[in-house]
Chains A and B, each alone.
Chain A
Amino acid sequence: MRKTRFATALLAGTCLAISGAMLPAMADEPEGVDPAEVPEDRTVINWWFGLTGQLGETTMEMVDTFNNSQDEYFVVASYRGDYAETMNATVAAFRADRHPEMVQIYEVGTQTMMRSGVIYPVHELMADMGYEVDWDSYVQPVLGYYLTPDGDLLSMPFNSSTPIFYGNLDLMAEGGIDELPQTWDEVGEAAAALRDAGVECPFTTGWQSWVHLENYSAWHDIPFATQDNGYAGLDAEVVFNETQTADHIARLADWAQDGRFVYQGRGGDAHGAFMGGQCALYTNSSAYFGSINRDAEFAWTASELPHEAGQEPQNSIIGGATIWVLQGHDEEAYQGVAAFLDFVASTDNQAWWHQTTGYVPITVAAYERTLEEGYYEEHPAQEIALTQLTKNEPTANSRGIRLGNFVQIRDIINEELENIWSGAKSAEDGLNDAASRANEQLRRYEAQQ
């Protein structure tokens, strides 16, 4: 009996501990710069980010450029896992009072960050450190996502993209289609032709909630949630199950059943299938431009997102991440942060960043520079994201989406969309369930504030 009790106690301890240990972040040693390499006479500024692959390399290159451009500050950029892991590491580090000066946070974390009470708003920081920034010279649809109701900027836009429409020209030719369709009805016809011609995956998408619910709503100037998509108040409720967006999802559900739309998984998973030459038509982030441009082994094209026949598109909304500045550091460090952010926004850096990655430039000047250099004549696909974002003055429906527990809401939408695509639920039931579950998360968030 003693043995039994001991074993039970041990197991109990282990189980609770394993689950308990999930909470504090598994903070690894930062990757990147060896402390010995940091010049002694410089003020060190830490920046945690969450980009990998080509995007991660480009980010490190940008930091090197900054470090070599002056001799007062030294930015140590460290990769902290994907966006969710980076945010979690930041939370854990803040609780332990070991947080960095700057951190890159994804757009769905915006509400959490802005209401966290731990940030140093970028507009204040720049003013306090003596930088006069002409915020009007920024690309407004990018900035708008991160403004307070008073129009003050909270975090520095860094990597912003928007979904666009890609096509594999080689596959499209098999169905006798030589250019991307412009309306959703035409997409349906084209996908049917492709399917009938034997194309395995006529149409697919990455980031299904972002592209087909959030951006579809903005693109057609209809609300995703009440209270101006959450910008006007915490008591917002999602309404995508009651709008034209629901019809769009029902149509995609039909396509999923008849083989026109082939689901390839969550997040950006569909990119593998597109790059592998299986999918002909594909909606996903403009940030995949860098990868497609470099690695596609087929002729491809890109265009603006499809829209409904008879409706003029409004503008699309961004995704990606921004740089947040955290409280609790000294003035000297913040001087360095301001210098770095000033460098990030500089025309040279922005034009280079835009052309290397596929993210949109955050200033009008960087866009104009790229235009003047004739870059878009060679890479017309790179201009699509910008023309889409700036198509019209953003409305309350197309400015962005600001909801609490947005991470959970995206997950709920993913789950219910999968139930819809598989036929386990009708589009109507699936969206109603998604909406009621999302609203429950919103009420929960509101109650915690």
Chain B
Amino acid sequence: MLKRVLFRNRWLPYALLFPQLLITLFFFIWPASQALVQSFYATDPFGLSSRFVGFAEYTRLLADPLYHNAVLRTLVFTFFTTSLALAAGLFLAVYADRVIRGQNTYRTLLIWPYAVAPAVAGVLWLFLFHPTYGALALVIRQTGVNWNPLLNGTHAMTLVIVASAWKQVSYNFVFFLAGLQAIPRSLIEAAAIDGASTFRRFWTIVFPLLSPTLFFLIVINVVYSFFETFGVIHAVTRGGPGGATTILVYKVYADGFVGLDIGSSAAQSVILMALVIGLTMFQFRYLERRVQYN
């Protein structure tokens, strides 16, 4: 399914890439290099004085057990958010693909949450699950669970994972649906004639053919969990209770943006980046091998 396009003119492809590269340079590469430089300096907020400190910020962070916890917490958060968002997206796509009547309505409704800003999504979920005035919190409490995300770290983490995953389900849904529709019907029908059950057809034919989509979505979802879930966390828990939902990107914000501790915050960004690059490389190396592009 890989498409190749050949350009006759040597320069045309570069010219077409140029605007995007320019944007990348100014909005990504340049600020990123600033963060890298900043991480080696102790700077006052207003930037009047700055002192080279080498790797001091890094060694301080790496020796800090609280930072280790934040790294671990981020990995747990990312694992659950990604798994939940992917599983739900795939499940919905498989069923939406089978729907015959009202397809467009279902699809529109399923894509809807993607249009909701993370902060708004966070507020919505908080409204439903706030221990004092949340409608659904009341239901949970009636089942005997002492639901309190304001003080219970596990409850808070569950809430931000579900809210973050909910935001991303739509995106996954769209890609899975497109992937499903690209699978030739004849393959599935042939298998059905051979007597393969629905379950078997899914796992032996559909799922392997979806693997490029799945791989792409894993990478995207991991990056989403690492960075874009900030809005949800800020709106729902502000990193609390007791730091239970302070994932790395939230710590970068709290220390850098609010606390104006620019050196440490920059070092944290660099570590965060290294972590995501490492994870992505790992994915390309080990997961992509199992992807079937043809």
A-side residues, CB < 8 A to B, are: 4, 7-8, 10-25, 84, 87-88, 91, 94-95, 112, 116-118, 201, 263-266, 272-273, 276, 278, 405, 407-408, 411, 414-416, 418-419, 421-422, 424, 437, 444, 447-448
Contacts and interface: CB of A to CB of B under 8 A. Distances in A.
Contacts of B151: 263, 418, 421-422
Nearest to B222: A11
A286 B266 CA distance: 38
B44 interface: yes
Contacts of B223: 11, 14-15
A91 B31 CA distance: 16
Among B33, B45, B150, B281, residue most surrounded by chain A Cβ atoms (within 10 Å): B45
Q: How large is the interface on B (under 10, 10 to 19, 20 to 34, 35 or more residues)?
A: 35 or more
Interface of B: 24, 27-29, 31-36, 38, 42, 44-48, 66, 132-133, 150-153, 219, 223, 226-227, 238, 240-243, 249, 252-262, 265-266, 268-270, 272-273, 276-277, 280-281, 284, 288
Contacts of A116: 44-46, 48
B259 A407 contact: yes
Given A17-B28, A117-B46, A278-B132, 9 more contacts: A8-B277, A13-B28, A15-B277, A19-B270, A22-B249, A94-B46, A408-B261, A415-B241, A415-B242
B252 A88 contact: no
A117 B48 CA distance: 8
Contact of B31 (A23, A84, A408, A447): A23
A21 B31 contact: yes
B46 A91 contact: yes
A264 B150 contact: yes
A415 B243 contact: yes
6 contacts: A15-B223, A16-B269, A91-B47, A94-B47, A418-B240, A421-B151
Contact of A95 (B24, B27, B47, B280): B47
B238 to A, nearest CB: 6
Nearest to A423: B151
A348 to B, nearest CB: 35
Contact of A15 (B24, B226, B258, B284): B226
Contact of B238 (A112, A266, A416, A421): A266
Among B66, B270, B273, residue most surrounded by chain A Cβ atoms (within 10 Å): B273
B38 A4 contact: no
A10 B44 CA distance: 31
Contacts of B255: 408
Closest 4 pairs (CB-CB, A-B): A19-B269, A17-B28, A20-B35, A16-B32
A23 B256 contact: yes
A215 B36 CA distance: 41
A233 to B, nearest CB: 19
A91 B259 CA distance: 12
Contacts of A84: 257-258
A135 B53 CA distance: 43
Given A11-B276, A88-B257, A23 B265 contact: yes
B29 A13 contact: yes
Contact of B35 (A8, A19, A422): A19
Given A11-B219, A16-B36, A22 B269 contact: yes
Consensus secondary structure, chain B interface:
helix
A415 B256 CA distance: 18
A31 B284 CA distance: 45
Among A18, A25, A118, A407, residue most surrounded by chain B Cβ atoms (within 10 Å): A18
A56 B35 CA distance: 34
Contacts of B153: 422, 424
B252 A22 contact: yes
Contact of B32 (A13, A405, A407): A13
B266 A88 contact: no
Given A117-B46, A411-B254, A12 B277 contact: yes
A189 B256 CA distance: 44
A437 B65 CA distance: 12
A22 B256 contact: yes
Nearest to B37: A20
Contacts of A23: 31, 34-35, 38, 256-257, 262, 265-266, 269
Nearest to A112: B45
A419 B273 contact: no
A94 B280 CA distance: 37
A415 B240 contact: yes
A405 B153 CA distance: 26
A158 B106 CA distance: 54
Nearest to B216: A7
Contacts of A416: 242
B34 A22 contact: no
A407 B258 CA distance: 7
Nearest to B258: A84
Contact of B242 (A8, A14, A22, A424): A424
A263 B270 CA distance: 36
B275 to A, nearest CB: 9
B15 to A, nearest CB: 18
Among A10, A117, A273, A408, residue most surrounded by chain B Cβ atoms (within 10 Å): A408
B150 to A, nearest CB: 5
A199 B284 CA distance: 57
Contacts of A22: 249, 252-253, 256-257, 265, 269
Contacts of A263: 150-151
A419 B270 contact: no
A19 B252 contact: yes
A331 B273 CA distance: 46
Contacts of B266: 20, 23
A112 to B, nearest CB: 6
B150 A20 contact: no
B260 A87 contact: yes
B31 A20 contact: yes
A94 B47 CA distance: 9
Contact of B273 (A12, A94, A278): A12
B217 to A, nearest CB: 14
Nearest to B271: A19
A7 B238 CA distance: 32
A16 B151 CA distance: 33
A264 B256 CA distance: 26
Contacts of B28: 13-14, 16-17
B260 A88 contact: yes
Nearest to A18: B227
